[in-house]
Structure 1
Amino acid sequence: MAAEGDRVLSRKKLDELVKQVTGGGHGDGPSLTPEVEESMLTVADTFVDQVLNAACKIAKERGSKSLEIRDIQLTLERGYNIRIPGYASDEIRTVRKIQPSNAWIAKMSAVQAAKVTGGKNQE
C-alpha cells in the first residue's frame, strides 16, 4: 500500500469528492469501503501516469525537453476526449474523422445507383 504522499489524490479528497457527487451530508452520507477506496486511488494514479507519459512522448516528438500544457491538453483531447475549460485550445483543435461502416457504404451505393437508373420516367 502506498503512502498518502505518494498518491495523486488523498483519501480525504476522495471522500470529499464522493460526498460532493452523491450529495451526502457531513459524516452520515454514503462512503466507500476501504477496498473500493484503494481501487479508486490506484485508478487515479494510473490515469495521471498514463496521461503524463503520453504527454511527455508528444513533447519529445516536438523536439522539446520540457513538458508544456498543450502537450497535456493534446493527450487529454485525443486520447480521452476531455477538454479542460479555461485553457485556450484553439490551436489544438482535434477532429476525429468518422469511418462509415461497410453496411452504410453499401446503402449509399445502392441509393446512388437507384438515383441513376431508377430516376428516369419509363412509359
Structure 2
Amino acid sequence: GRAGARGVVRGGEAPMEAMSLQQLRELAKQVDPTVEIDDDVANVLLDIADQFVEEVTTVSCQLAKHRGGDTLEPRDLKLCLEKNWDIRVPGYVVMTDAAAKGGGVKRPGPTD
C-alpha cells in the first residue's frame, strides 16, 4: 500500500485501493509512452482515485436504499455518476422501473 493512502475500509479489513501505483503508471504509458510520473504526484492521483471510488460507492448505496432496494445495481452507479459528476457511460442501457415491469428499455438519446 501507499503511505498515507485513504483506501476503502470495510468491516475491519485492510484498505482496498482503486488502483495500484503500477496500474497508474501503465495507464499513463497508454496515454503517452514518454510520460514519467513523480512518486509524490502518483500518490496524490491514487489517493484521489480511492476517494472517488469510495464516494461513488457510498452515494450509489444511498440511492439504492432510497429506491427501496437492498442491492446496489448498475443504475444506482449510473445515476450517481451522471448527477454528481456529469459522467455518462457511453452505450450503457439502463432498465427503468417501468421497463422492469414491461414498459420498455430506456436508451440514451442523442443529447444524453
Per the TM superposition, whether the score is higher than 0.5 is: yes
SS at match of 1:46: helix
Alignment root-mean-square deviation, CA: 2.3
CA deviations 1:5-55 (Å, max 9, x no partner) are 731101111011111122x1xxxx221111001001000000011111110
Alignment of 1:51 with 2:56, yes or no, is: yes
Taking structure 2 as the reference length, what is the TM-score of the superposition? Answer: 0.69
Residues 91 and 108, structure 2, Cα contact 8 Å, conserved in 1: no
Q: Separation in 2 of the partners of 1:92 and 1:50?
A: 25
Higher-Rg structure is 1
Given the alignment, which residue of 70, 78, 83 partners 1:78? Answer: 83
3-state SS, counterpart of residue 6 of structure 1: coil
- The sequence identity of aligned pairs, in percent, is 36
The answer to which structure, 1 or 2, has the higher relative contact order (CA under 8 A, 6+ apart) is: 2
2:58 counterpart of 1:19: no
- Greater helix share, 1 or 2? 1
Q: Which runs of 5+ in 2 are unaligned?
A: 8-14, 95-105
The ranges of structure 1 where at least 4 consecutive aligned residues each deviate by more than 3 angstroms after the TM superposition are none
- Report the AA paired with residue 53 of structure 1: T
